[in-house]
Amino acid sequence: MKLIHKLPVFLLLILPLTLSGQKRWTLEECIRYAWENNLRIKQQVLAIEQSKNNAVQAKYAFAPTVSGSISHNMNWGRSVNMQTLEIIENKLSQSSGMSVRASVDIFEGNKKVNDLKNKEVFYEIAMQNAIKMKNDISLEISRSFLQVLLSRDILASAKSSLSSVQAQADRSKKLVDAGSQAYGPYLEITAQLAREKVQVVNAENQLRANLLSLKQLLDLPGDNDFDIAVPSVNLDNLSFMGESVENIYTAALGLPQIKSAELSHTSSKIQLKLAQGRHLPTLSFSAGYGTNYSDSRSDAFFQQLKDNRNPSIGFSLSVPIFTSFSIKTGVKNAKLDIIKYEIDLKNTQQALYKEIQQVVNDASSQYAQMKASAENVKAMEESFRYVQQKFDVGAANATDYTVAKTNLFKAQSDLLQSKYQLLFQMKVLDFYKGKPISL
């Protein structure tokens, strides 16, 4: 099935999930379970949390830094009495000191302001990436879910065909037993019956394979008895009269891949401001307070702490004079990044436009294919009915009957394929127009 690779977020019904016993899962339940349990989504959630932490830290960077220290020293041997300046020989002396210091940037070329803006943009990008990941997983699950529905309908068609051939084989045997029909046609019809049984087995195997694929997408336990709930979708009323690509594209510009590309372009402009800010000087203010105590002095402990107080304040100015052209090179590269992300945005927009073009074209082609397939089914049904009537009266051989029956089943299968393909493409277009997707 030809499908696009982008699908925006599904509108989900909030339903409880029970994993024990036989459960029939709706499409909404499958998607919700994947959103809550998929490992890729969990990894992206962690990336969101990290981006959020970085943004919060960028806000904290505006606060001053404060540090304190306490020291205690013991000395043996020769030392100096700090009060009398006399040398003390071979005596244990002890001293203590304590200080606290704070500093804050007054001006740093708006680096902190721009860094905060950039971190907040990164946080938004991480959230948009998570939404896109959910969309992609929703697409995978929806495609797999529809494949299960298709294989289920093909199995039902195969069983119906088997039942019809079985009835014909039973009738043929009665005719043979009554002597009204030769044994050869009976053998041919029983051979067709065997092929019909193989056809049913193949359809059953395909259904199991598609159920397994969907189950693996959900990462369900291996022993889980998994099945889906069949939605009430009327495939006979499907219709597609064409869509405006421009209108759908305008409605789809809010998709996460577009927002992420726009945010990346915004980030590149902030990065340029950061690079240009490195040309500017930085001015910081600091203040400190310290005191000390020594047992070589006779003054009391608290008296010394009072007498030895040492407050201080200071300003620091740093001016970049020559940085080996690293700042200039950084500015040049930042300007190139703006152009790069602008091109990335245009590429993303073009890709979305082409995707919508492709879906509209495929939906139109598939609708024409569905109508042609429906006409083909009608023709094959009439042809089979005619051959069956002739076969019943002995005017047609078993080979004619087998060919007509095979052609009818193939036509029915082709019609089912085209209906489900059209259904999916129409649902995708509905979402691009802002409508919720559900079955």
Sequence-distant (≥ 6) Cβ neighbours of residue 324 within 8 angstroms? none
Cα 258 → chain centroid: 14
- Name all contacts of 66-75 with Cβ < 8 Å and 24+ positions apart: 66/100, 66/101, 66/102, 67/100, 67/101, 67/102, 68/98, 68/99, 68/100, 68/101, 69/97, 69/98, 69/99, 69/100, 70/96, 70/97, 70/98, 71/96, 71/97, 71/98, 72/96, 72/97
What's the CA gap between 428 and 360, in Å, rounded? 10
Residue 1 neighbours by CB distance under 10 Å: 11
Low-confidence stretches of the chain (pLDDT beneath 50): 1-21
Asked if residue 79 lies in contact with residue 91, where contact means CB atoms within 8 angstroms, the answer is yes
Sequence ranges of the domains in the chain: 23-432
Please give the single-letter amino acid code of residue 14: I
The one-letter amino acid at 309:
R
Alpha-carbon torsion (74, 76, 81, 85), positive or negative? negative
pTM of this structure: 0.80
DSSP string, 327-378: HHHHHHHHHHHHHHHHHHHHHHHHHHHHHHHHHHHHHHHHHHHHHHHHHHHH
Quote the percentage of the chain above a pLDDT of 70: 90
Tokens 């896109």 appear where? 132
> If one looks up domain 23-432 in CATH, what number appears?
1.20.1600.10
Question: Taking a C-beta distance cutoff of 8 angstroms, is the pair 238, 373 a contact?
Answer: no
In whole angstroms, give the CA distance from residue 27 to residue 138: 9
Give whole-number Cα distances, 65 to 99, 107, 136, in Å: 14, 15, 45
C-alpha distances (whole Å) from 403 to each of 187, 397, 417 are 15, 10, 21
- The closest of 35, 28, 36 to 12, measured between CA atoms, is 28
pLDDT at res. 13: 36
Instruction: Say which residues have a Cβ less than 8 Å from residue 11's Cβ, sequence separation at least 6.
Output: 436, 437, 438
> For residue 254, what is the DSSP state?
G
Handedness of CA 380, 382, 386, 391 (dihedral sign): positive
pLDDT at 80: 66
Q: How far apart are the first and last CA of the chain?
A: 18
Distance between CA atoms of residues 277 and 260, nearest Å = 26
pLDDT of residue 430: 80
